[in-house]
């Protein structure tokens, strides 16, 4: 199915990451012109424009969009996928102010500055589609990484819903949505004990975690004016049914068999 993205200009932040690179690849396959931002590692695929920039610096964020406008044209779409991920778990009781700022403040600020700059193009062009990147942690939390989870909650709930009306005030058909990935797998078959409730797969309704390509497909769908032109303000969870962790841990096949045997099972 045609997405209508061919020839469109799309800015992708965090393009050097696993998900960011998959998003760039998916957009290129659709014929989009991709402007990729990265901080340390360039995207794994060649894009039309690739810019190294620190998204916590507003002058550098302005430079990304200015370069896009001068080389390939003002962007039609933007994917705000950049984020910092705490490599180690730190309980809040032991967390320093610097650690909090490094992940909560930085993540919220990077998204804000990216969105603000894109909205200037939405206002001047009268159109635009924005896709934010959330996380399953925004809903379920992430013990030891509360600063990351809190930053994604701010984007998923406060920022997303505020932008719905703000964007249509700038352009009647401008849209904003959010993709919330769970833990992204590598695509390799998992090797786990089916009876081990501590294995990552035991927290999912589906047998395998989502891939970066799964997340990218959701991004393309939300960005596309043909596929989701009437969709705005929505959170699309790409997490293999992470809420299923409750069903999987509480209601197991052995439990159902026992309930059926004594007549307490319910259809």
* CA proximity to 240, closest of 201, 196, 197: 201
Q: What is the mean pLDDT of the chain?
A: 88
| Each residue's pLDDT tens digit, 247-258 | 444 444 444 444
Contacts within 8 Å (CB) and 24+ apart, 228-231: 228/175, 228/177, 229/173, 229/175, 231/175, 231/177
The whole-angstrom separation of Cα 255 and Cα 82 is 43
Question: In the structure, what pLDDT confidence band is assigned to residue 205 with cuts at 50, 70 and 90?
Answer: confident
| Each residue's pLDDT tens digit, 83-134 | 999 999 999 999 999 999 999 999 999 999 999 999 999 999 999 999 999 9
- Decide if pLDDT at 259 tops 80: no
The whole-angstrom separation of Cα 212 and Cα 18 is 6
Q: Is the pTM of this model over 0.95?
A: no
Q: Which domains does the chain have, with CATH numbers?
A: 9-242 (3.40.50.720)
């Amino acid at each position: 199915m045609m997405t209508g993205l061919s020839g469109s200009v799309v800015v992708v932040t965090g393009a050097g990451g696993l998900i960011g690179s998959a998003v760039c690849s998916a957009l290129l396959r659709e014929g989009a012109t991709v402007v990729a931002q990265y901080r340390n590692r360039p995207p794994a695929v060649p894009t039309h424009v690739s810019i190294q920039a620190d998204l916590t610096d507003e002058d550098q964020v302005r430079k990304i969009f200015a370069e896009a406008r001068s080389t390939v044209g003002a962007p039609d779409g933007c994917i705000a996928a950049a984020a910092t991920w705490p490599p180690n778990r730190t309980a809040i009781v032991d967390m320093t102010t610097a650690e909090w700022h490094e992940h909560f403040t930085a993540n919220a600020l990077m998204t804000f500055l990216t969105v603000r700059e894109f909205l200037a193009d939405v206002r001047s062009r009268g159109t635009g589609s924005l896709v934010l990147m959330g996380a399953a942690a925004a809903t379920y939390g992430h013990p030891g990484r509360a600063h990351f989870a809190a930053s994604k909650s701010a984007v998923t709930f406060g920022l997303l819903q505020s932008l719905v009306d703000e964007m249509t005030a700038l352009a009647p058909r401008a849209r904003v949505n959010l993709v919330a990935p769970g833990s992204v797998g590598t695509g390799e078959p998992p090797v786990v004990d089916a009876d081990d409730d501590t294995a990552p797969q035991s927290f999912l309704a589906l047998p395998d975690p989502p891939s970066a390509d799964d997340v990218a497909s959701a991004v393309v769908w939300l960005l596309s004016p043909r596929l989701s032109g009437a969709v705005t303000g929505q959170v699309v969870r790409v997490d293999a049914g992470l809420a299923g962790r409750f069903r999987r841990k509480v209601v197991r096949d052995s439990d159902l068999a026992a309930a059926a045997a004594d007549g307490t099972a319910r259809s």
